C-alpha cells in the first residue's frame, strides 16, 4: 500500500471515530495547491532539465510549512504524501502552521556546489510567488541543509528586494538560523523515545537500541540516547550496518566514517558488519527507523523482535507491516510525534526572525521540550479504549485541523 493511501486510511478512520462527515476526507486529503516546474540547468555536458515540486496541503491553522527534498526518487506523489503528513504533525504538536513539502528530482551528490546553488536559486525563483514568511516557509529535508536554505533566503530576498529571514528555517546561524536546529530532530526523537520507554516500564540505563540510518537524525538520536544510558548496539547507512552487542562508540564511528569517507559497515574497529535486514531483526528493546520510507513491510515485519519502534523517519512502516507489528504486540510511536522536534525548532527560529529576538541554546531547548512534552501528554491522554499511539495522534491532529477549517468557513 502506498504511503499516501496509508495516511488516507488513518484519516478516514479518525473522521469516523470522531463522528465527522466522511465527505470531509476529500477536503482533508486534497491539497490546496500542487506545482510542478521545469528547471533547466547549464552543466558542463550541456543543459539538463530537472523537475521541481511544491505541494501546499492545508493552511487552516497557519502558513504552509515543510521541507525541500533533493532525491532521485522525489516526485509529486511523494510531495503530496509528505505535505499531508506535515499538516498532521504541526497540528499534533500544536504549532500554528499548515503542511507543505517540495523538492527536486535529482541526486545532490552528483552536483557540484555551483550547480547546487544555481539549481536551488532557480527553484526558488520559480516558487517565489508562493514562498513568504506568512504564506509558505520551507526548511531542510533529505538532501538539503543550511547551505541550501541560505541560497533560498538569498534568492527570495533578491526577488522581493527586501530582507526576509523568516521565509525559510534551518538557515546558518550567521543568517538568522536558530541555535539547536541542526540536532533538533534527533534530539526530539531521543526525548520521545525515553518517554515511550518509560511508559513501557523499561529500566534505564542499558536499554538496547538499534538505529536504521546514520545521517543527521540518526547520529544525533544515537548521541542523545547514549547520554541517558541507552546502549546503541547497531547503526546503519545505505551500504550496510555495524553491530556491537557491548555498545558502539557513536562519536568514534561517526568521526571515522567522516575522516575516511567510508560507510558505517566498514568501521570494523568498532563492530562487525551486518546487513540492513539483520539490523531490523536484532533482539533489542528499541528499534528506530531513521532512514527511508517503507523500510519495514510485510516481508520483514514478522522478523522484528523489538518491543518499541520509534519512527524517526517519515512513514518508515507500511500499512501491512504495521498490522503485523501490532498483532505481535510491538508498540509504535508514529512519525508525526517522534520526529516533530525539527519543525518545532523551525517554529522557534521563525518566531525569532519575526520578532528580532535571539534565544540561547538553553532557552531553545526549554521551549522545545515544553512543546513536545505537552504534545506527548495530550497523546497519552487520548489513548483510551486500547487505541494505538498513531490512532490517538491522528484523532488529535484531524480534530484540530477540522475545527480550524470550520471556523474559517472552509467546510
Domains and their CATH numbers in the chain: 30-165 (3.40.50.10860), 184-333 (3.40.50.720)
pLDDT band per the 50, 70, 90 thresholds, residue 2: very low
Q: Does 155 sit behind a cis peptide bond, omega within 30 degrees of 0 on the bond before it?
A: no
216 marked among binding-site residues: yes
pLDDT tens digits, one per residue of 20-77: 887 788 889 899 999 999 999 999 889 999 999 999 999 999 999 999 999 999 999 9
Question: What's the predicted TM-score (pTM) here?
Answer: 0.94
pLDDT band per the 50, 70, 90 thresholds, residue 410: confident
Average pLDDT of the residues in 167-179: 97
Is it the case that residue 364 has pLDDT exceeding 80? yes
89 marked among binding-site residues: yes
Long-range Cβ contact pairs of 46-52 (< 8 A, separation 24 or more): 50/104, 50/105, 50/106, 50/119, 51/75, 51/104, 51/105, 52/102, 52/103, 52/104, 52/105, 52/123, 52/126, 52/127
Query: Which DSSP letter does residue 178 get?
Result: P
- At 66 the pLDDT is 97
Query: Which DSSP letter does residue 177 get?
Result: P
Active site residue 101: yes
pLDDT band per the 50, 70, 90 thresholds, residue 10: confident
Catalytic residue among 44, 101, 260, 305: 101
Classified as helix, coil or strand, 369 is: helix
Per the prediction, the chain carries an average pLDDT of 94
Q: Edge-to-edge strands of the sheet including 286-289?
A: 272-274, 240-243, 231-237, 208-212, 286-289, 308-310, 331-333
On whether the CB atoms of residues 352 and 358 are closer than 8 A, the answer is yes
Is it the case that residue 341 has pLDDT exceeding 50? yes
Q: Which three cell numbers stand for residue 55?
A: 505541494
Measure the CA–CA gap between 289 and 309, rounded to whole angstroms.
Answer: 8
pLDDT tens digits, one per residue of 271-281: 999 999 999 99
pLDDT tens digits, one per residue of 156-167: 999 998 889 999
346 marked among binding-site residues: yes
Residues facing residue 127 across a β-bridge: none
Classified as helix, coil or strand, 206 is: coil
Average pLDDT of the residues in 249-258: 94
Is it the case that residue 5 has pLDDT exceeding 80? no
Answer with the residue of higher pLDDT: 44 or 347. Answer: 347
Is it the case that residue 4 has pLDDT exceeding 60? no
135 marked among binding-site residues: no
Report the Cα–Cα distance between both ends of the chain, in Å, rounded: 29
pLDDT tens digits, one per residue of 374-396: 999 999 999 987 899 999 999 99
Amino acid at each position: 500500500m502506498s504511503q499516501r493511501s496509508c495516511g488516507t486510511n488513518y484519516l478516514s478512520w479518525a473522521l469516523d471515530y470522531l463522528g465527522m462527515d466522511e465527505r470531509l476526507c476529500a477536503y482533508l486529503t486534497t491539497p490546496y495547491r500542487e506545482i510542478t516546474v521545469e528547471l533547466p540547468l547549464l552543466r558542463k555536458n550541456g543543459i539538463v532539465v530537472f523537475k521541481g515540486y511544491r505541494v501546499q496541503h492545508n493552511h487552516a491553522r497557519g502558513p504552509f510549512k515543510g521541507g525541500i527534498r533533493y532525491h532521485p526518487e522525489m516526485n509529486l506523489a511523494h510531495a503530496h504524501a509528505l505535505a499531508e503528513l506535515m499538516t498532521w504533525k504541526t497540528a499534533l504538536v500544536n504549532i500554528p502552521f499548515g503542511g507543505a513539502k517540495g523538492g527536486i528530482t535529482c541526486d545532490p551528490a552528483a552536483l557540484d556546489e555551483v550547480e547546487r546553488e544555481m539549481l536551488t536559486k532557480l527553484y526558488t525563483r520559480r516558487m517565489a510567488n508562493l514562498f513568504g514568511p506568512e504564506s509558505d516557509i520551507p526548511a531542510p529535508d533529505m538532501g538539503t541543509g543550511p547551505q541550501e536554505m541560505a541560497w533560498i533566503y538569498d534568492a527570495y530576498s533578491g526577488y522581493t528586494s527586501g530582507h526576509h529571514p523568516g521565509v525559510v528555517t534551518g538557515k546558518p546561524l550567521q543568517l538568522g538560523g536558530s541555535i539547536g536546529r541542526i540536532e533538533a530532530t534527533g534530539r526530539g526523537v531521543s526525548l520521545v523515545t525515553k518517554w515511550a520507554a518509560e511508559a513501557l516500564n523499561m529500566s534505564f540505563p542499558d536499554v538496547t537500541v538499534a538505529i536504521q540510518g546514520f545521517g543527521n537524525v540518526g547520529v544525533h538520536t544515537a548521541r542523545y540516547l547514549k547520554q541517558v544510558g541507552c546502549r546503541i548496539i547497531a547503526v546503519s547507512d545505505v551500504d550496510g550496518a555495524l553491530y556491537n552487542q557491548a555498545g558502539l562508540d557513536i562519536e568514534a564511528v561517526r568521526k571515522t566514517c567522516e575522516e575516511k569517507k567510508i560507510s558505517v559497515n566498514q568501521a570494523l574497529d568498532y563492530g562487525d558488519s551486518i546487513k540492513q535486514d539483520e539490523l531490523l531483526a536484532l533482539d533489542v528493546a528499541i528499534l528506530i527507523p531513521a532512514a527511508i520510507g517503507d523500510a519495514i513491510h510485510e516481508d520483514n515485519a514478522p522478523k522484528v523482535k523489538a518491543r518499541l519502534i520509534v519512527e524517526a523517519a517519515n512513514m518508515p512502516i507500511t500499512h501491512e507491516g504495521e498490522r503485523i507489528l501490532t498483532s505481535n504486540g510491538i508498540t509504535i510511536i508514529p512519525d508525526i510525534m517522534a520526529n516533530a522536534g525539527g519543525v518545532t525548532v523551525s517554529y522557534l527560529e521563525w518566531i525569532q526572525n519575526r520578532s528580532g529576538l535571539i534565544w540561547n541554546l538553553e532557552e531553545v531547548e526549554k521551549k522545545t521540550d515544553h512543546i513536545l512534552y505537552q504534545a506527548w501528554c495530550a497523546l497519552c491522554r487520548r489513548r483510551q479504549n486500547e487505541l494505538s499511539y498513531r490512532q490517538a495522534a491522528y484523532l488529535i491532529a484531524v480534530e484540530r485541523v477540522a475545527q480550524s477549517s470550520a471556523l474559517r468557513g472552509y467546510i
